[in-house]
Amino acid sequence: MKKGILVFLLILLTVGFSWAAGKAETTGSTEPVVLRLAETHPADYPTTQGDYEFARLVEERTNGRIKIEVYPGRQLGEEKAVIEQVQFGAIDFTRVSISPLAAFAPDFNALQMPYLYRSAEHMWQVLNSPIGDEFLNSLEPSNFVGLSWYDSGARSFYNSVRPIKSVADLKGLKIRVQESALMVGLVEALGAVATPMPFGEVYSAIQTGVIDGAENNWPSYYSTSHYEVAKYYTLDEHTRVPEITIASKISMDKLSLEDQKIIKQAAKDSMDFQIKAWAAYEKVAEDAVIANGNEIYRLPDNAEFQAAMQPLYDALSPDLQKVVEKVRAVGK
Ligand code: GTR
């Protein structure tokens, strides 16, 4: 109870401070407006590099009136808790995977369905089409402002027990997933045991045998050192899950329309930078994991995995099935 009151007071204080900071801009003070961006990855990770570029562009284009401070490495908390804080304005921005965001805006599940995109190019065609903008704009009723998309490659399974060469090999393995109902369903559809868990807890959970493995892209497999404790990596590439940068609608509403426009444009203009940083880091990660002697297995084709995941499509609402059809039609 006491702890609850303390947390409440802290939230009031944080909201109060951000409000005061926001005011500075409208009262013509020369003090910069300082806004905070939460990032789960370390400073050298490509999404964080994109965050820094976004912050740099905003500072440059507002002549220093708005400063975005990037907090990498989960300093402001794990993704789910951070999204909640962005929703009520205690944190101004975050870059997250759309997987945990879908708990707040369920339509986003339609953009992270297994084997949805034919390729990385197809995903980018979709995100850069009006569909991508509709999704960014759809967040406002949930109190977020969708700003931009970042690359996240493809996610695949890794574990410490055995190589996975077919769906049967996944049977009974305890696999960590993001805090996402869709990801729980995906892992269960393959006969494994899904364990939702915050990102920062996965390394020790694999090391101590609480779980057998997890799933992620090359850069995360490498930067988290999960590759050291889970040496079998199967490139089944079950999902491409775009990364997204969102703002708190409460924070944005305190800024002038002109500053909101600058922020939106700067976020979009940081995308190219992030996509290049992603490609470079993906290569570094892959080379380092292979040099470490990990057992990498690429599925000759993913037909078996894809068929096992069909129930997830059947369970989608008719509206989301229509979105899936629209996504599939892009570029055809
Ligand atoms: C990464 C993603 C993070 C986080 C993480 C996870 O690929 O960039 O934002 O969602 O996966 O698995 O928790």
Tell whether 217 and 275 lie within a shared domain. Answer: no
Q: For ligand 1, is residue 48 a contact (CB within 6 Å)?
A: no
Tell whether 36 and 87 lie within a shared domain. Answer: yes
Tell whether 218 and 232 lie within a shared domain. Answer: yes
What is the C-alpha separation between 150 and 127, in angstroms, rounded? 10
Cα of 210 vs centre of ligand 1, distance in Å, is 20
Task: Quote the number of domains for the chain.
Answer: 2
Q: What confidence score (pLDDT) does residue 21 get?
A: 45
Structural tokens at position 230: 């889970």
What is the C-alpha separation between 273 and 146, in angstroms, rounded? 18
Tell whether 57 and 89 lie within a shared domain. Answer: yes
Q: Is residue 122 part of a domain?
A: no
Tell whether 306 and 190 lie within a shared domain. Answer: yes
Q: Which residues of 136-147 are buried (b: 16+ CB within 10 A; e: fewer)?
A: beebeeebbbbb
Q: What confidence score (pLDDT) does residue 30 get?
A: 78
Residue of 40, 223, 238, 275 with the most ligand 1 atoms within 8 Å of its CB, for mutation: 40
CA 252 to the chain's CA centroid: 21
Residue of 80, 94, 104, 199 with the most ligand 1 atoms within 8 Å of its CB, for mutation: 199
Q: What confidence score (pLDDT) does residue 29 get?
A: 64
**Across the strands, what pairs with 155?**
239
Q: What confidence score (pLDDT) does residue 12 get?
A: 45
CATH classification of the domain holding 56 = 3.40.190.170
What is the C-alpha separation between 227 and 203, in angstroms, rounded? 9
Tell whether 222 and 309 lie within a shared domain. Answer: yes
Nearest to 72 by CA among 87, 55, 60: 55
Domain that holds residue 259: 30-104+139-151+242-281
The residue ranges of the chain whose pLDDT is under 50 are 1-27
291: exposed, middle or buried (Cβ count in 10 Å: 0-12, 13-18, 19+):
exposed
Q: Is residue 167 part of a domain?
A: yes
Structural tokens at position 103: 């708990």
Structural tokens at position 117: 């995109």
Nearest to 139 by CA among 117, 108, 166: 108
Residue of 216, 227, 275 with the most ligand 1 atoms within 8 Å of its CB, for mutation: 216
Tell whether 233 and 250 lie within a shared domain. Answer: no
Q: What confidence score (pLDDT) does residue 28 get?
A: 56
Q: For ligand 1, is residue 245 a contact (CB within 6 Å)?
A: no
Tell whether 94 and 190 lie within a shared domain. Answer: no
Q: Is residue 123 part of a domain?
A: no
- Which amino acid makes up residue 312? L
Tell whether 264 and 197 lie within a shared domain. Answer: no
Q: For ligand 1, is residue 148 a contact (CB within 6 Å)?
A: no
Q: For ligand 1, is residue 274 a contact (CB within 6 Å)?
A: no
What is the C-alpha separation between 127 and 133, in angstroms, rounded? 7
DSSP string for residues in 84-134? HHHHTTSS-EEEEEHHHHTTTSGGGGGGS-TT-SSSHHHHHHHHTSHHHHH
